[in-house]
Amino acid sequence: MDTQQQLDEFQKRIDNGETIEPKDWMPERYRKQLIRMMSQHAHSEIVGMLPEGNWITRAPSLKRKMVLLAKVQDEAGHGLYLYSATETLGAERRELVEDYLYGNAKYSSIFNYPTLTYADICVIGWLVDGAAIVNQTMLAKSSYGPYARANLRICKEESFHKKQGYEMLAKMADGTPEQQRMAQDAVNRWWWPTLMMFGPHDSDSPNSAELIKWAVKTKTNDELRQHFVDRMVMEAEAIGISLPDPNLKYNEETGHWDFGDIPWDEFWSVVKGDGPMNRERMRARRKAYEDGEWVREAAMEYARKKKLREGKAS
């Protein structure tokens, strides 16, 4: 059990703005919360490869094909170093992966929506990566060193992805009538799910207070969401895209944009597994994992034999 003295000293370090490193003492609960959050982040990167991967073979120019492929590759990279960062807390990648494939671990619900047209790829870059950046910019200041550093690196790449998505969306919004139609339709479909990415209202977010106390997070879900909306309203306007919320209105008093009610029923339903693509996403990931089993086994067996041979040779 963690003693009160240990907890107090730990809290003091946090309050002084110190960074916690893998070998430092930390409360069990802090470790658990971080493993949950970080692995969830890693799973999201991996599942996130699917909706975008859906358009690699159909991307409308070689340039866009390479941009998309590189983006999906970056996501695999993010997943990889987030898993590595999580392993510094004593977790094992295989167990973490199996926990979302066959257990209860979650990943971001945004990836349970389908990518129907190429405009979805642009909107994912703009809105979804835009929301992720808001979140990860905060997490780059997280009290846990390896997680903070992973987020710093991820943010740099995500900013690039967001720029690419926004640029192409701007072109579509300024393009042929068919392109404009696709662009607006995609924004209409992705807007509300993107707002849900920041998680439930602070009043319904059981983990928030604790994570803020430990400086894993430094802002609440609602603060981050508001920051995002304020930015997106301007960016949408700049490219002639409208956001599908009749209640969006600038509030002179607060200096922020007020927005309509988020469809929370839909959010909770998707979180629980009942979204348009949950089952398919899981099937695809399980299939990749199970189809890959013999490859991983072969690599291990080969390494074992090689080591044995080298041992004999010396």
Partner 1 sequence: MSTLDTIPKTKQESLVEVLLRLGDDRLIHGHRLSEWAGHGPELEEDLALANVALDMIGHASSLYSYAAKLEGKQDEDHYAYFRDDIDFKNIAMLELPRVDFAFTIAKQFLFSAFSYFLYRDLIDTVEDEQFNGMLQKHFKEIKYHLRHSREWVLRLGDGTEESKKRIQSAFNDLWMYTGELFDQDDTEKAAISHNLYVDVTSFKEEWMKLVKETLEEATLDVPDNDQYMFSGARGGRHTEHLGHLLAEMQFLRRSYPDAEWK
Which residues of the shown chain bind partner 1 in the complex (CB under 8 A)?
46, 49-50, 53, 56-66, 69-70, 72-73, 76-77, 79-80, 83, 118, 171, 175-176, 178-179, 284, 287-288, 291-299, 301-302, 305
Residue with tokens 């930015």: 231
User: What span, in angstroms and rounded, lies between the C-alpha atoms of 48 and 53?
Assistant: 9
HEC string of 257-307? EECCCCCHHHHHHHHCCCCCCHHHHHHHHHHHHHHCHHHHHHHHHHHHHHH
* Nearest-approach distance from CB 46 to partner 1, in angstroms: 7
Minimum distance from residue 87 beta carbon to partner 1 (Å): 13
Do residues 259 and 230 make contact, with C-beta atoms less than 8 angstroms apart?
Answer: no
Q: For residue 174, what are the CA distances in angstroms to 22, 115, 182, 183, 185?
A: 50, 21, 12, 10, 14
Q: What minimum distance in Å lies between the beta carbon of 209 and partner 1?
A: 34
Q: Considering the complex, what minimum distance in angstroms separates the CB of residue 174 from partner 1?
A: 9
Phi, psi of 245 (to 5 degrees): -140, 105
CB of 309 to partner 1, least distance (A): 10
Q: Are 163 and 117 in contact (CB under 8 A)?
A: no
| Of residues 24 and 297, the one with the C-beta less far from partner 1 | 297
Q: How far is the CB of 168 from partner 1 (least distance, A)?
A: 8
279 vs 287, which CB is nearer to partner 1?
287
Residue number with CB closer to partner 1 (134 or 169): 169
Residue closer to partner 1 by CB (options 50, 131) is 50
CB atoms within 10 A of CB 228: 20
Which residue's CB is nearer to partner 1, number 156 or number 305? 305
- Are 85 and 38 contacting, i.e. CB atoms less than 8 angstroms apart? yes
- Fill in the amino acid letter for 294: W
Q: How far apart are CA 38 and CA 90, in angstroms?
A: 12
Q: Taking the complex as a whole, how short is the minimal distance between the CB of residue 276 and partner 1, in angstroms?
A: 18
**Cα angle for residues 101, 52, 282 (degrees, 5° grid):** 15
Smaller CB separation from partner 1, 137 or 164: 164
> Which residues partner with 249 through β-bridges?
258
Nearer to partner 1, 46 or 232 (CB): 46
